[in-house]
Structure 1
Amino acid sequence: MADSSVSFLLDKLSVLLQEEVNLQKGVREDVVYIKDELERHKALLMVADDALEHKDPELKVWVKRVRDIANDMEDAVDEYNFRLVDQHGKNNNKNSSFHKISFGIKTMKARHKIASNIQGIKSKVEAISHGRPNISEVRTSSSKRLSSKIDSQGDALLLEEADLVGIEQPKKQLNDMLFKDESGRAVISIYGMGGLGKTTLAKQVYDDPKVQKRFRIHAWVNLSQSSKLEELLKDLVQQLHNVIGKPAPEAVGQMKSEKLKEVIKNLLQRSRYLIVLDDVWHANIWDAVKLALPNNDRGSRVMLTTRKKDIALYSCAELGKDFHLEFLPEQEAWSLFCRKTFQGDNNSCPPHLEEVCKNILKLCGGLPLAIVAISGVLSTRGRTNIEDWQMVCRSFGSEIQGNDKLEDMKKVISLSFNELPYYLKSCLLYLSIFPEFHAIEPMRLIRLWIAEGFINGEDGKTLEEVADSYIKELLNRSLLQVVGKTSDGRMKTCRMHDLLREIVSLKSRDQNFATIAKDQDMVWPERVRRLSVINSSHNVLLQQNMTTLFQLRSLLMFALSDSLNSFSLHELGSNGLKWLRVLDLQDAPLEAFPVEIVNLYLLKYLSLKNTKVKNIPGSIKKLQYLETLNLKQTYVTELPAEIAELKRLRHLLVYRYEIESYAYFHSRHGFKVAAPIGNMLSLQKLCFIEVDQGSGALMVELGKLTQLRRLGIRKMRQKDGAALCSSIEKMINLRSLSITAIDEDEIIDIHDISKPPQYLQQLYLSGRLEKFPCWISSLKNLVRVFLKWSRLKEDPLVFLQDLPNLRHVEFLQVYVGETMHFNAKGFPSLKVLGLDDLEGLKSMIIEEGAMQGLKKLIIQQCGSFKNVPLGIEHLTKLKNIEFFDMPKELIMALRPNVGKDYWSVQNVPSIYSSYWRDGGWDVYSLETFGEQESDSNHSSAMRRSLEVPTLWKV
């Protein structure tokens, strides 16, 4: 957005005018003039939203010119900072007369060039000021909207069952089709217009515990218009291996389509399976995939969603049924509209707004997505001013009526976008940089937004906390959807709905906000400031013979198929990258640290995550503006001492973990550093630093990092416990703490913490504990506790049961006693409980009232545990029980109808038992346990219920 570009620039100009270095004669006056003029234009830009730009071509051209000028001026300011301010500040005697004279001589040429550039920009500003369009009749009729007070992560774009009125009947029909007594493979095709809720309906059916119980082998595959067959098949292979509990062979990455089909067919041949193909656009995709899905006469099903009726009819022609999802009838549409718009008013529309609301609802045409989107806009409006609501209706006008339903929906979503405050528009536009269906980690997005300069500082909050509030606001406005959640309810990944993404991407291209390079025949804009490269870097190199001007501030690469070892960043042009702020090479096929990176003076964000980079050069100290360095899942094990010179670094992430051996003590690798880490006072996240070398001094250094929110320590020694405790007491902002001993027999001595960090939410301890640290009992904000190898003689439940917010507890070799006792009213918020390898445990007592919210119970490798937990029937919210390598006596006692203790768990929807045999997991439902053997290749996920890949992340 042009107003965002100008706002960021005005902040920079304010700083520039306060610098100690004298500007070239006349330059200061020019900068003041430019700043004043842009301040005048800013108010106009705030109301020049997309709708107005499209109606007024003259205004659209003018806005583009303002945007270009803001970018040119930003370049000039960066040039000034680099050539003059920082060079001037490097000398300790910068105030001496000699230094001033010397500095003036050395920089004369640079200052002259900068003055010339600014003079040229001033001329352009004068031109746009004189040619400013007359839009005096355009005025905003309402003040800034109040932020939604509903702080939920509900996503209205991927509608919940409760939101999609009338879903009960179609869901029942689909369930009947899935459970129909037909042995052959059947295809169920759900078709209809985009936004009707096809994916929502399919997901509700797919996630039904009864469905997943019937189809233990299941997978959900997202498609798109540009889906590649090989990538689709690789995704399916990976999902199937995840669900059977075996890592996919490394060779899968190099397999061609025919071999992949063969692998899938072999995996599915002896199983009853359910495969969902979501959003199929081309019949040839179905033709190719169906060859990999065997008709094994076991009642397998394929569920397919598509917007095209011909694909739906074609795919289920042999054996199956098509299912057409209709638009919502008037009454059901009104019910949905009121529930989403008037959530704080008993879901009831005030009488004085009923007429205008029904007129607005007509514009949605019975499309659930459109209804929820417009409701998200209206829900934050005041209820008293009817003119405010009528303006929304008028803004659609006659041009909308008569258009097809997809255009109606696009206009509704566009209104949702245009209603955003300017600072959120840039944040939402930025999501168009990510590929389709890319699940985005919130912290990655937050760090990128900060590096881009999108986040405005607020008193009493870190930039990360402000950015997090932006994400919540987008969620509350139904412009983001939650894809995955952690066990403690936090959002793990998010994305935009595909239709919303399409609209936002159009806006991004129209405003030249970002350039997406994924097709060789794409049309490039005149200027490129943010560049997202998808599939191949070759697309970028081809542009060197074109007239496109690269003025990159951000470069992100996704799903590269060609090696970056042959790709030099310098090839983008000598000036194309010099002011780069963001460089994200996550998942790139990169084996060595690109040497050009250390010359990217303004770089704030650098990610080499999931690459094969092994070493970081000491010259990284040149990146004095760096705030995020992400080296997760690389082969970096040691950082140069110069890393401590990066005083602005906020997030230092260096570790690698082995998913398949999560219970192995040395499954995670951190990094060593011989540097005064305490000098990095801006650090908020430090994971995982190995402290076995120079540990005494290093523990003291850690105490200087008072801004830390997350700390991960590896190779801890008992003798350093006191020093670490002293340092932790100073970390008053700490939210997450992970400590791993140097080996599983080493004692973690962290008992002497008199002032524990009261905001701590996550605690991970791996190593011996002589006794349970009592201070943990005072952490009222704690939501996760994961303990490994503690070998406590005292029942750890005593110290944890009264914590009000504790939602997830995992124990691995934590307790050597025979009985665990869950007292009444204990663990009031617990949702997930995992007990692993408690060899001495013989019994479990659950009093009535304990763990009233527990949804998932996992018990594994407790060889002495042969009796059903006493009082398990009190856990009325329990949805899932999973046993791994547990005694046969326990499992037989729970068999339906025949087990003596089945009555105590008869209301639990899902109960399974698995055993490790011959290199694979054999999985049984309790109905068949003891009657038949299942193929170990078709078993459920190896400890997947413990969220193995994320269990010990910090």
Structure 2
Amino acid sequence: MAESAVSFLFGQLSVWLQEEQKLLVGFKEEVELIHGEIGQMRAFLKVADTKEERDPQLKEWVRQVREIAYDAEDVLERYMLQFAHHDTHGFRGYLKKIYAPLKNLKARRQIASEIKAIRLKLENASKRQQTFSDTYPVMNQGSSSTSARYDGRGDALLLEEVDVIGIEKPKELLLTWLSSINSGLKVISVVGMAGLGKTTLVKKVFDDASVKMKFDHHAWITVSESFNVENLLQNMIKRLLKDVKQPPPQGLEAMMADDMREFIYNFLQNKNYIIVLDDIWKIDAWEAVRYAFPRRTTHGRGCIIITTRISSIADASCSESNGHVYKLEPLPEEKSRELFYKKAFPTDSCPPDLEEISESILNRCEGLPLAIVVIGSLLATKNNKIEEWEMFYRSVGSELEGDHLKRISILLSLSFYDLPYYLKACFLYLSNFPKDQLIQKGRVIRLWTAEGFVEAKQGKIMEEIAEGYMNELLNRSLIQVSETFDDGRPRNFRIHDLLREYIIPKAREQNMAAIESQGEIQWPKSIRHLALDGFSNPTKQIYKGKNLRSLLFFGPGDSEWGPILYEVMRGDCRMLKVLELRGAPIDALPGEVFKLYHLKYLGLRDTRVKIIPKSIGNLGKLETLDLKRCGVTELPIEILQLQRLRNLLLYRCVYNHGYLECVQGFKAPYEIGRLLCLKKLCFIDVADAGSGRIKTVREVGKLTQLNRLGITKLRREDGKELCSSLEKLTNLRELLILSLEEGELIDLEYHLSPSTFPFLRGLFLQGRLEKIPRWIGSLNTLTRLFLKWSMLREDSLECIQGLPNLQTLNLNSASYEGLELCFKAGGFQRLHKLYLARLGGLRWVRVEKGSMPILHSMDVWDCKSLVEMPEGIEHLKNLKHVEFNDMAEEFVERLIDEKRNGGDQWRLAHVPLVVVDNCVNGEWRRVQL
């Protein structure tokens, strides 16, 4: 983790040396020397981070280097803060001009002294580095192998059948896949996070009698994260020969890798074999052995089973052989409880007084078999004393650091220390979020970027790089997707509770984060990130240190939190880069906030703040201003001074009984086009621009970097100017256009063509169209289309039914006015979800065979004129969920009768979940058919 801090400082210095040369006058040489010194340390630190856990002296040296990097960052940012701004207006400015040189001279001398001290510390650290290089010569070669401590992964190979619970169904599926192999090679991958039981599952399949009969040759090879190609191939040869009771060939230890691959290939040719490669961490391990296995054989058949924590390895290894990937999921609740009780109460049942605390502990395990087994076995030694059980529950985090749960901790640490340095800081940062809270992808991407964790790469925008970081954490099974957008992209994710408990002390140790919880705080020496949980009781003991870089508040929080937050913001927090106050009980910001020179992220979502003062213009480094669902409706013209602003989010969605009624945006300054760095702009109320409405629409065309744009209250006469602006926004990923009112025409035919939007994924149009603009039908990248108030007539769908990537279609609130809606054969080949809502005149829906072949979800809401279930719905063989909501009583009665009389021949008999939600006598009732 020191490498993360040092790399961040290295990047900051690189930027300052390029962009802030005027401010660095007198210090540039010293700063360049520091820049060069830490540049030389980075490669060494990447390896030292993985070895510090087993060497206390190395760990202390790494800590010292990390603190030096933090100190250097503090000194230089304090210097920037002091000299970047000077008020030279009025009489006070005149006095400042007189006394500033003396004051600046003193300050420069002080900072020069501090920079020199940092340089000396770095030189001493560099000398000490050589000592460790002599002790660990392999560190100079860039090895990233982790500790050789016993980690317990091999224990799964020795488990008896009685110790295994919950693998019956996955085992049966894997055996089915194996039985279908008749010739050639098939690869099966089992993927999932640490502790899920991948090795246990595969071992039970490997040992099954049917597998022993089907395959003549069997070999189990444990790969691990620190594999060596030659050793791996030697081990495979020995295992294969041992299985047939043959000695290894002479000279095996001296054989080249290519020769060993050839030996394995010839040995397996025309044979029936199964080989398990357990615990692959690097794609290199698969690449090293993949060509050792015959792919096409006349008489033989082969199967390779891989276990891994990394999804990309699972996918890559199976792709060539058209194999199978099995994603192992946590145990369901019942199986978790069965396994836990078996371990915690081996000779008896659960006592009534321990049932509640048992459920709480089980919830912390979240279906992770390893955690359930280890924790259950530990609690079995507590003699059923509820006091000891409750004490354990409160201290799970510290228990992970102790001897009792070391097996869990070591397995988790393998995943953590295998992370590249740039992901360690990002992953530890997630410890700031309260447990059980869904973590929004977009929010985290903006926070990581503002914190400086995201390294710039040529040809990519910062948000794309940050999203790549998140995908890498998902790929490594360290976070899990909990909610997706309609097109399948991750929206929200979560982190396993035990994994979060593991990284909390890591983050605190690195001064990365401090979490206020239940009023019990142990402040690290120099906190960089402080998270306050609004669900806990507020405390007066709030940290107000000068080193704080981010303050995160997780609402809602009661009124007592308001004065405390004001106190923190008025404190000595001048170095803040992130101020996230989502859901905080505040109605204004203190003036001190608008003096935060380094601030990059200001989040006031879901607060009571109504006015943004003119002093917002002082925040010249601000990148994100999140005012969603607060009381602000207008921004001062000073917002145009924020030339680095990338995300401007200011809107409120109004819902009525689950329907989106309207979107309330904000009145933008006429010259909004001056904010050239904007990536997201949502939503501008064009009607509120008055006489400057057309100019505001025209200004939007200057924001050529936009990838998300929302405009509300558009009038018909704005169409030509809007199209002219949109024609220039070729980077758009999402476009949302809402008319002034129902019946107002949106004219979108001018200038626009499919080539205008090469990357557009989402299109939301609310307003009268009468017909779908021609260019929409050729948007090859479009995945989501939402239409409202469109007033379309028959055959309107022909324009869009050929969209090659459309996954979600939402026809809402008078978007279609025909009596019949027909989905024709061959149309909507990639559609996953279909929503039909508030289509008052719709009487019939017809689905021709061959239309929407992979549709898995259909929702029909408040279509009161619909007299019967869609004709041809039985053709949709992949439907998983059908919901009818707020329909006419006649429709519901007919649907229920058809189900009752149809039996297995019912047209929806193939759909796992059919739900009817209807209001009866003022009460909503849900019936599952």
TM-score by length of 2: 0.71
1:314-353 aligned within 5 A: 330-332=203-205, 352=234
Residue in 1 that maps onto 2:837:
836
User: Structure 1 residue 844: deviation in Å?
Assistant: 2.1
Residue in 2 that maps onto 1:805:
805
Residue in 2 that maps onto 1:128:
125
User: Structure 1 residue 378: deviation in Å?
Assistant: 4.2
2:407 is aligned with what amino acid?
D
Distance in 2, matches of 1:561 and 1:541, equals 14
Larger gyration radius, structure 1 or structure 2: 2
Q: Is the 8 A contact 1:578 1:601 kept in 2?
A: yes
SS in structure 1 of the partner of residue 31 of structure 2 = helix
1:626 aligns with one of 617, 622, 625: 622
User: Structure 1 residue 442: deviation in Å?
Assistant: 0.7
SS in structure 2 of the partner of residue 629 of structure 1 = strand
Residue in 1 that maps onto 2:427:
428
User: Structure 1 residue 4: deviation in Å?
Assistant: 1.4
Distance in 2, matches of 1:12 and 1:802, equals 49
Distance in 1, matches of 2:195 and 2:15, equals 50
Residue in 2 that maps onto 1:845:
846
Q: Which has the higher contact order (CA 8 A, sep 6+)?
A: 1
2:459 is aligned with what amino acid?
G
1:444 is aligned with what amino acid?
R
Q: Is the 8 A contact 2:837 2:861 kept in 1?
A: yes
User: Structure 1 residue 41: deviation in Å?
Assistant: 2.1
Cα 1:540–1:889 shift into 2, 3 Å:
closer
User: Structure 1 residue 73: deviation in Å?
Assistant: 1.0
Cα 1:919–1:610 shift into 2, 3 Å:
farther
Structure 1 residues 566-625: Cα deviation after superposition (integer angstroms, max 9, x where no partner): 1254547753x1010011111222222333211111100111111121111111111110
Cα 1:460–1:130 shift into 2, 3 Å:
closer
Percent identical residues? 40
- Range 578-587 or range 73-82, more displaced: 73-82
Q: Is 1:112 the equivalent of 2:109?
A: yes
SS in structure 2 of the partner of residue 420 of structure 1 = coil
User: Structure 1 residue 759: deviation in Å?
Assistant: 0.9
Q: Is the 8 A contact 2:3 2:49 kept in 1?
A: no
Residue in 2 that maps onto 1:565:
562
1:688 aligns with one of 683, 691, 701: 683
Q: Is the 8 A contact 2:608 2:630 kept in 1?
A: yes
User: Structure 1 residue 561: deviation in Å?
Assistant: 4.2
Distance in 1, matches of 2:771 and 2:847, equals 24
Distance in 1, matches of 2:519 and 2:78, equals 33
Structure 1 residues 858-879: Cα deviation after superposition (integer angstroms, max 9, x where no partner): 2233233213322211100112
- Range 788-797 or range 829-838, more displaced: 788-797
* Structure 1 gap segments, 5+ residues each: 92-98, 146-163, 174-193, 201-325, 343-348, 359-371, 387-391, 393-401, 927-954
- Range 326-335 or range 703-712, more displaced: 326-335
Cα 1:68–1:142 shift into 2, 3 Å:
closer
Distance in 2, matches of 1:464 and 1:718, equals 34
2:677 is aligned with what amino acid?
S
SS in structure 2 of the partner of residue 803 of structure 1 = coil
Q: How many corresponding residue pairs?
A: 715
Structure 1 residues 468-525: Cα deviation after superposition (integer angstroms, max 9, x where no partner): 1111111111111111122211112112222222222232223222112224443222
Distance in 1, matches of 2:904 and 2:22, equals 82
Distance in 2, matches of 1:457 and 1:910, equals 46
Q: Is the 8 A contact 1:376 1:477 kept in 2?
A: no
1:566 is aligned with what amino acid?
P
SS in structure 2 of the partner of residue 829 of structure 1 = coil
Distance in 1, matches of 2:405 and 2:169, equals 23
Q: Is the 8 A contact 1:746 1:767 kept in 2?
A: yes
Distance in 1, matches of 2:238 and 2:735, equals 53
Residue in 2 that maps onto 1:730:
728
Cα 1:721–1:900 shift into 2, 3 Å:
farther
Residue in 2 that maps onto 1:825:
826
Q: Is 1:702 the equivalent of 2:694?
A: no
Structure 1 residues 115-156: Cα deviation after superposition (integer angstroms, max 9, x where no partner): 1221232233333334444333422598699xxxxxxxxxxx
- Range 427-436 or range 863-872, more displaced: 863-872
SS in structure 2 of the partner of residue 864 of structure 1 = coil
User: Over aligned residues, Cα RMSD in angstroms?
Assistant: 3.8
Distance in 1, matches of 2:425 and 2:277, equals 19
Distance in 1, matches of 2:861 and 2:642, equals 45
Cα 1:504–1:903 shift into 2, 3 Å:
same
Distance in 2, matches of 1:919 and 1:713, equals 37
Q: Is the 8 A contact 1:196 1:327 kept in 2?
A: no
Distance in 1, matches of 2:446 and 2:456, equals 14
Distance in 2, matches of 1:404 and 1:59, equals 22
Cα 1:357–1:22 shift into 2, 3 Å:
farther
Residue in 1 that maps onto 2:867:
866
Structure 1 residues 33-86: Cα deviation after superposition (integer angstroms, max 9, x where no partner): 322322232222111125x21222222221111111111111222123233345
Q: Is 1:504 the equivalent of 2:503?
A: yes
1:641 is aligned with what amino acid?
I
Residue in 1 that maps onto 2:352:
none
2:666 is aligned with what amino acid?
F
Q: Is 1:896 the equivalent of 2:899?
A: yes
1:740 aligns with one of 738, 741, 745: 738
Cα 1:40–1:168 shift into 2, 3 Å:
closer
Distance in 2, matches of 1:520 and 1:81, equals 35
Distance in 2, matches of 1:846 and 1:528, equals 61
- Range 109-118 or range 605-614, more displaced: 109-118
1:609 aligns with one of 602, 605, 609: 605
Cα 1:483–1:748 shift into 2, 3 Å:
same
Residue in 1 that maps onto 2:281:
377
Q: Is 1:669 the equivalent of 2:668?
A: no
Distance in 2, matches of 1:496 and 1:357, equals 38
User: Structure 1 residue 663: deviation in Å?
Assistant: 3.5
Distance in 2, matches of 1:821 and 1:573, equals 62
1:916 aligns with one of 898, 904, 919: 919
Residue in 2 that maps onto 1:282:
none
Cα 1:739–1:901 shift into 2, 3 Å:
farther
SS in structure 2 of the partner of residue 865 of structure 1 = coil
Residue in 2 that maps onto 1:583:
579
User: Structure 1 residue 444: deviation in Å?
Assistant: 0.6
Residue in 2 that maps onto 1:654:
650
Q: Is the 8 A contact 2:508 2:514 kept in 1?
A: yes
User: Structure 1 residue 751: deviation in Å?
Assistant: 1.8
SS in structure 2 of the partner of residue 579 of structure 1 = coil
Q: Is the 8 A contact 2:23 2:83 kept in 1?
A: no
Residue in 2 that maps onto 1:295:
none
Cα 1:165–1:492 shift into 2, 3 Å:
farther
Cα 1:640–1:375 shift into 2, 3 Å:
farther
Q: Is the 8 A contact 1:763 1:785 kept in 2?
A: yes
Q: Is the 8 A contact 1:860 1:884 kept in 2?
A: yes
Distance in 2, matches of 1:531 and 1:117, equals 26
Q: Is 1:678 the equivalent of 2:582?
A: no
Q: Is the 8 A contact 2:681 2:706 kept in 1?
A: yes
2:908 aligns with one of 883, 905, 910: 905
Structure 1 residues 391-445: Cα deviation after superposition (integer angstroms, max 9, x where no partner): x9xxxxxxxxx99884223212212111111111111111111111221111111
Q: Is the 8 A contact 1:565 1:592 kept in 2?
A: no
1:116 is aligned with what amino acid?
S
Structure 1 residues 662-681: Cα deviation after superposition (integer angstroms, max 9, x where no partner): 5464x321111234100000
Distance in 2, matches of 1:711 and 1:859, equals 29
User: Structure 1 residue 758: deviation in Å?
Assistant: 1.9
Q: Is the 8 A contact 1:5 1:71 kept in 2?
A: yes
Structure 1 residues 151-187: Cα deviation after superposition (integer angstroms, max 9, x where no partner): xxxxxxxxxxxxx9984647999xxxxxxxxxxxxxx
User: Structure 1 residue 809: deviation in Å?
Assistant: 0.8
1:129 is aligned with what amino acid?
S
Residue in 2 that maps onto 1:787:
787
